[in-house]
Structures are given as structure tokens and as C-alpha cells.
């Protein structure tokens, strides 16, 4: 059976135009750089997440009866809590900035990964559509996984109802989108291309890592983010518009964080 040309290009794209590093010393430095970046950013988060899930599974309480807060109180004093929340936002911004800076150091202009301002309105439109495509099925998957007992109860926010809660949740959503998409897609896939990895192999590595640092949410969180990583990564490999992914991720998280904060306790279907 012959696969149509369009689906074939999506499932098995050809090699990217990124030059492959052939010098052994430069390759070792590139591998070391990738390992260092992942160790100080989302790779370490994946390891902590795996241990967190193991601890939850071994607990006497069923997984579905356990709760994980994505944006939780960090201090009893309100102003100190605000400062710590903003510090976490700054850390995420720094992770994404590190990935972007290292791409520049490697000789890639930011426009080469789709971080330019040539088409803001079109990027915003595409981000909104992608957020709907991923966000709604993602919510359904979470509710099914929780009903099956393979996901913890996720509380997107347990912050007190203060004047700064919604602004901080929006900033947190934007920082998440920036850090994850720049590091996992723009930086990691580009560097793996330079090592000669195929598009499918680099895509799978990025998506598996994305799913892994969401393991603390249970099987549903892993699967949902694995699928998100595959879709986002392939779209970027095809269209090279990283701002679309950052925007879509931000919209998904804003709806989840701010929506939960506003609706929790007022609707019966929201755990």
C-alpha cells in the first residue's frame, strides 16, 4: 500500500538542513552541553518527577485520592510568597533564555528557530488554534485517567485569593511555555540535528523527556504530555515557528491555572 505524499512527509520527514558536526572534539562538547543544560533544567525535573510518582504509587493512599498542586503557597507571609512565586517565574525565564543563548553561541539566529517578529498576528492565530486542538483533548484525557485511578488529582493552583494571584498565574503560564518550548523543541532538537539524529529520533527523545518530567501527575500526565510533545515537535519541524508553540502552551496553562482558580468550588465537575 502506498502512503500519500502528504502523510509520508509528516510521519517520516527528510533530514533537516542543519549542518552536522563532524569534528569529534566539537561533538563531545555538544553532547556535554546538552547534558549540562538538561541537568540544570528539565532533565533534572524528569528525575525528580519519576521519584515523586514512585513515592505516590508506594503510598497506602490510592493514586486518584492524592493531590498535586502546580502553583502552591511557598511562604506563610503574603509578600514573601509573592517574591518566591516571582523567583520561580524568573527561573523558568532563565531556563528558556539559556537555551536561546546557547543556540546563538552555536551560530543560529533566533529567527532560524522561529523566534522572530515577522508574523505576530498569524503566530497568535495559530497558537490559539493549536491550544484548542491540544487543550480540550488533554482535559478529557486527564479526567479519564483520574477516573481509572492512574492519575493524581491535579490542583493547578492552591494560592490564596490575593490581589496578585491571577497576574502571577498568568506569568507562571507564560514562563512555563517559554522554558519548555525553547529548551525541549528549539534548543534540544536543533542540537540533536547537529549530532546527526533523524527528525523522528530527535522528536521522540524530546517528547519522551517532556512526558517524563510530568510523571508526578501520574500516567495521564505522562501520556498527555508525550502526545503534546510529539504534536508540537512535529509542527515545529515542519513549520519552524517556535512562537506558535510558546503561545499555545501559554494559553493552555493560563486557562488551566486561572480557570481553576476562578471556578474551583463553583462547578461540580472540577475536582
Q: How confident is the model at residue 265 (pLDDT cuts 50, 70, 90)?
A: low
Residue 47 has pLDDT above 80, yes or no: yes
**For the chain, percent of residues with pLDDT exceeding 70:** 94
Across the range 76-88, mean pLDDT stands at: 96
The more confident residue out of 261 and 233 is 233
Residue 77 has pLDDT above 60, yes or no: yes
Across the range 144-173, mean pLDDT stands at: 91
Across the range 11-36, mean pLDDT stands at: 90
The pLDDT assigned to 8 comes to 67
DSSP the chain: -PPPHHHHHHHSPPPPSPPPP--HHHHHHHHHHHHHHHHHTHHHHHHHHHHHHHHHHHSSS-GGG-EEESS----SSHHHHHHHHHHHHHHHHHHHHHHHHHHHHTT--GGGGT-SSS-HHHHHHHHHHHHHHHHHHHHHHHHHHHHHT-BPEEES----S-TTHHHHHHHHHHHHHHHHHIIIIIIHHHHHHHTT--HHHHHHHHHHHHHHTTGGGBHHHHHHHHHHHHHHHHHHHHH--HHHHHHHHHHHHHHHHHHHHHHTTT-TT--
Amino acid at each position: 500500500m502506498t502512503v500519500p505524499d502528504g502523510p509520508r512527509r509528516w510521519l517520516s520527514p527528510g533530514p533537516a538542513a542543519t549542518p552536522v558536526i563532524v569534528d569529534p572534539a566539537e561533538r563531545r562538547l555538544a553532547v556535554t552541553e546538552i547534558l549540562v543544560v538538561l541537568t540544570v533544567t528539565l532533565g533534572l525535573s524528569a528525575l525528580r518527577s519519576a521519584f515523586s510518582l514512585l513515592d505516590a504509587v508506594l503510598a497506602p493512599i490510592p493514586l486518584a485520592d492524592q493531590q498535586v498542586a502546580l502553583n502552591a503557597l511557598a511562604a506563610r507571609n503574603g509578600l514573601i510568597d509573592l517574591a518566591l512565586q516571582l523567583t520561580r517565574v524568573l527561573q523558568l525565564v532563565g531556563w528558556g533564555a539559556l537555551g536561546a543563548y546557547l543556540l546563538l553561541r552555536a551560530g543560529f539566529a533566533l529567527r532560524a528557530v522561529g523566534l522572530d517578529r515577522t508574523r505576530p498576528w498569524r503566530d497568535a492565530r495559530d497558537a490559539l488554534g493549536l491550544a484548542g486542538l491540544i487543550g480540550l483533548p488533554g482535559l478529557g484525557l486527564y479526567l479519564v485517567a483520574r477516573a481509572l485511578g492512574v492519575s493524581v488529582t491535579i490542583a493547578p493552583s492552591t494560592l490564596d485569593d490575593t490581589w496578585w494571584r491571577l497576574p502571577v498565574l498568568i506569568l507562571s503560564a507564560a514562563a512555563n511555555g517559554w522554558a519548555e518550548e525553547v529548551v525541549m523543541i528549539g534548543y534540544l532538537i536543533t542540537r540533536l540535528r547537529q549530532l546527526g539524529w533523524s527528525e523522528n529520533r530527535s522528536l521522540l527523545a524530546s517528547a519522551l523527556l517532556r512526558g517524563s518530567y510530568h510523571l508526578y501527575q501520574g500516567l495521564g500526565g505522562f501520556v498527555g504530555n508525550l502526545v503534546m510533545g510529539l504534536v508540537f515537535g512535529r509542527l515545529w519541524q515542519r513549520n519552524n515557528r517556535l512562537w506558535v508553540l510558546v503561545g499555545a502552551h501559554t494559553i493552555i496553562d493560563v486557562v488551566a491555572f486561572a480557570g481553576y482558580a476562578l471556578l474551583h468550588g463553583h462547578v461540580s465537575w472540577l475536582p
